[in-house]
């Protein structure tokens, strides 16, 4: 459930922040639009559309803007109208609509040679992120950041890195954005500091650094300011912060402090907005009762959370995370057959989503790469053409100069000595000029190629089971793949966000896990060395960090579940 909370923060808190900020300004803007003309009217229409949060109103105002912009023959605002229309579909499952209208805006900027603010790439990124296509989201965020240094781009980056388990990167970007906040004074995102701290707190929770998470929550409280009760937006965020505190203390097994913040939630004067994060609150209540092994109450709250996710949210993977928590509750109630059935359903669902999402992401990323490569090649071709023209003109000038020098020599035969000296000098100058031309206009240009090193590393690891070699090093792989250790390190870091050791240990742990399940007679120590580990203590530590239990506990748990199921069937 913890991962889903990050996205809920960005989707719902920013959405309801917009609702809170609506006021009489809409009526005032409508009046100004009625009495304005030209570009001023178009700018006011953009401002009005940005104030609306409902899809119907955004579509209505964006269509009106497009009609007025066409009437004024202002293609910049025609492009803006499509960007606004794309934003109307953010937060829904209609990714194609977002991409369609965003690309229409990009096409207009390109066709009429207008400066593209790249706002459309941000919208495409959000659409992908909110529907689980994180790599596509990351690609478009980076395209958006090419336009300008943007605070919301950094906020999206932290979210992507968090949702893809790259917690160190999420922390790094969040801290950088917080430190750079004074430079974003013109980019007004209310409570941006609070939202960035929230991702930071969630990342610390995910890495079990609860004391650090509590320190960040204290900073979040400071970011809300002293007059929380007088500010409806801050009051809503205060409600959310109590949820975060309760989550941390539940994870610390500190039932007393967890109960303190759960009680504070009940006392908050914000009942009309309580349903916004109802699913998150119910999830924490489930975890709270699991501390006391009160599985019946835990089941009650997790079922409520599941209903909230299923009925109100378009993001199915959030429902899957809640279902994982329900499996633990069912096991606590000794309903092992139900737990196993739900676990199989979740696994099948995840496999299905992976089979659909990954090929789609790879296809779209491949197409984006090919488009980008084509654009770069075209630019290089144009640059080469210009250089060739300059070189030809220069050679013609040199030829004319040589002819002129020769003519002067023959015409002034009486001064042959002086002319010969002049000729030598001119040739020296020509040689220097040619050298300069060769330096500035080399005939052979380096061509870029697609870096497939990580794919070669993956094939090497999987096809040869290279990870079972306890002496496997970067140098060894580099030698096998005819490259060097630095490239190996950089390729792995770029593709996975992990170090070489973490990358290899991932394969070793997965191999050990499969061996523990497949063969119950082989001792753990044998499996340790068969999996490529040279240290038993290191293996035990990494295994527990990854799976939450020791290898023996893992094997016993699997054996116990099997025996329970067999007993129930008898």
Determine the Cα–Cα distance for residues 237 and 288; give it in Å rounded to an integer: 22
Give the burial string for 305-333 (b: 16+ CB within 10 Å, else e). Answer: bbebbeeebebebbbbbbbebbbebbbbe
Helices (H) then strands (E): counts for the chain: 27, 0
Cα radius of gyration rounded to whole Å, the chain: 32
Give me the half-sphere count of Cα atoms (radius 13 Å) on the Cβ side of residue 374: 6
User: Which residues, including other chains, have CB under 8 Å from residue 105's CB and lie 6 or more apart?
Assistant: 79, 80, 82, 83, 86, 119, 120
The whole-angstrom separation of Cα 478 and Cα 486 is 9
The whole-number pLDDT of residue 307 equals: 82
Q: Residues 387, 441: contact at Cβ < 8 Å?
A: yes
In this predicted structure, the answer to whether residue 439 has a pLDDT above a threshold of 90 is no
Which residue, among 239, 329, 317, has the nearest Cα to 291 in the 3D structure?
A: 329
- The C-alpha atoms of residue 274 and residue 570 are separated, in whole angstroms, by 46
pLDDT in tens, 463-516: 888 888 888 898 988 888 888 888 888 888 888 888 989 989 888 988 888 888
Query: Which pLDDT tens digit goes with each residue over 306-322?
Result: 887 665 544 555 677 78
**pLDDT confidence of residue 172:** 93
Look up residue 514 and give its two tokens: 């499969």
- Burial label, 94 (beta-carbon count in 10 A; 0-12, 13-18, 19+): middle
Among candidate residues 522, 501, 499, 509, the one with its CA nearest the CA of residue 549: 509
Report the chain's mean pLDDT, rounded to a whole number.
78
Q: Which CATH class is domain 453-569?
A: mainly alpha
Distance CA(548)–CA(551), nearest Å, equals 10
**What confidence tens digit (pLDDT) does each residue in 521-545 have?**
888 888 888 888 988 899 899 988 8
Parse the chain into domains and list their residue ranges.
36-145, 356-440, 453-569
pLDDT by residue (tens digit) across 320-335? 778 888 999 999 999 9
The CATH superfamily holding the domain 36-145 is Tetratricopeptide repeat domain (1.25.40.10)
Q: Picking from 6-15, 382-391, 540-549, which range would have the lowest pLDDT averaged per residue?
A: 6-15
DSSP state, residue 180: T
- Output the pTM of the full model: 0.55
- How far, CA to CA in Å, does 210 sit from each of 10, 202, 326, 340, 547? 22, 10, 24, 31, 19
**Predicted confidence (pLDDT) per residue in 94-145, tens digit:** 788 898 999 999 999 989 999 888 888 888 888 888 777 778 888 888 888 8
Model confidence band, residue 375 (pLDDT cutoffs 50, 70, 90): low
| Alpha carbon distance 173, 65 (integer Å) | 36
**pLDDT for res 204:** 93
3-state secondary structure of 93: coil
In the block, which residue shows the tokens 């969630």?
A: 202
Q: How many C-beta atoms surround the C-beta of residue 57 within 10 A?
A: 15
Rounded distance, CA 559 to CA 211, Å? 36
Q: Which pLDDT tens digit goes with each residue over 142-187?
A: 888 876 667 878 888 888 888 888 899 999 999 998 898 888 765 5
Q: How far is CA 474 from CA 214, 451, 493, 505, in A?
A: 39, 18, 13, 13
- How many Cβ atoms from other residues are within 10 Å of residue 255's Cβ? 15
Chain segment 26-63, per-residue pLDDT in tens: 878 888 888 899 999 999 999 888 888 788 888 999 99
């Amino acid at each position: 459930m913890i991962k889903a909370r990050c996205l809920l923060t960005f989707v719902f808190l920013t959405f309801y922040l917009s609702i809170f900020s609506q006021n009489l300004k809409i009526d005032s803007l409508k009046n100004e639009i009625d009495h304005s003309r030209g570009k001023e009217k178009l700018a006011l229409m953009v401002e009005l559309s940005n104030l609306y949060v409902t899809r119907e109103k955004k579509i209505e105002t964006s269509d009106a803007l497009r009609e007025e912009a066409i009437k004024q023959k202002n293609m910049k605002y025609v492009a803006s109208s499509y960007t606004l229309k794309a934003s109307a579909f953010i937060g829904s499952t209609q990714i194609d609509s977002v991409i369609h209208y965003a690309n229409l805006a990009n096409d207009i900027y390109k066709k009429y040679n207008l400066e593209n603010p790249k706002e459309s790439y941000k919208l495409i990124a959000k659409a992908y992120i909110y529907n689980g296509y994180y790599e596509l989201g990351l690609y478009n965020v980076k395209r958006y950041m090419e336009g300008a240094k943007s605070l919301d781009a950094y906020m999206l980056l932290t979210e992507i890195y968090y949702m893809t388990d790259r917690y160190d990167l999420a922390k790094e970007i969040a801290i950088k954005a917080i430190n750079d906040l004074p430079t974003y004074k013109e980019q007004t995102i209310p409570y941006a500091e609070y939202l960035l701290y929230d991702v930071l707190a969630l990342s610390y929770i995910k890495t079990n650094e609860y004391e650090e998470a509590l320190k960040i929550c204290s900073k979040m409280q400071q970011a809300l300011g002293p007059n929380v009760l007088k500010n409806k937006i801050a009051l809503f965020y205060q409600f959310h912060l109590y949820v975060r505190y309760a989550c941390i203390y539940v994870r610390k097994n500190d039932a007393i402090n967890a109960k303190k913040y759960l009680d504070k939630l009940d006392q908050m004067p914000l009942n009309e907005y309580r349903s916004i994060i109802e699913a998150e609150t119910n999830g924490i209540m489930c975890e709270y009762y699991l501390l006391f092994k009160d599985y019946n109450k835990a089941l009650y709250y997790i079922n409520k959370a599941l209903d909230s996710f299923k009925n109100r949210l378009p993001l199915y993977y959030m429902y899957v995370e809640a279902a994982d928590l329900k499996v633990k509750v069912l096991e606590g109630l000794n309903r092992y057959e139900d737990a196993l059935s739900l676990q199989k359903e979740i696994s099948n669902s995840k496999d299905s989503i992976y089979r659909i999402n990954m090929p789609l992401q790879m296809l779209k990323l491949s197409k984006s790469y090919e488009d980008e490569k084509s654009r770069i090649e075209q630019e290089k071709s144009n640059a080469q053409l210009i250089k060739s023209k300059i070189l030809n003109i220069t050679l013609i000038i040199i030829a004319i100069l040589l002819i002129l020098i020769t003519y002067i020599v023959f015409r002034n035969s009486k001064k042959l000595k002086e002319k010969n000296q002049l000729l030598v000098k001119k040739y020296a100058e020509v040689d220097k000029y040619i050298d300069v031309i060769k330096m500035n206009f080399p005939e052979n240009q380096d061509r870029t190629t697609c870096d497939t090193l990580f794919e070669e590393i993956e094939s090497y690891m999987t096809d040869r089971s290279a990870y079972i070699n306890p002496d496997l090093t970067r140098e060894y792989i580099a030698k096998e793949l005819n490259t060097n250790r630095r490239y190996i390190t950089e390729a792995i870091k770029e593709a996975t966000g992990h170090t070489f050791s973490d990358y290899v240990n991932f394969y070793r742990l997965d191999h050990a896990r499969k061996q523990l399940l497949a063969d119950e007679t082989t001792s753990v120590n044998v499996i340790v060395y068969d999996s490529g580990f040279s240290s038993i203590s290191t293996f035990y530590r990494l295994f527990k960090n990854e799976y939450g239990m020791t290898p023996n506990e893992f094997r016993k748990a699997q054996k116990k579940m099997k025996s329970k199921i067999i007993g129930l069937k008898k």
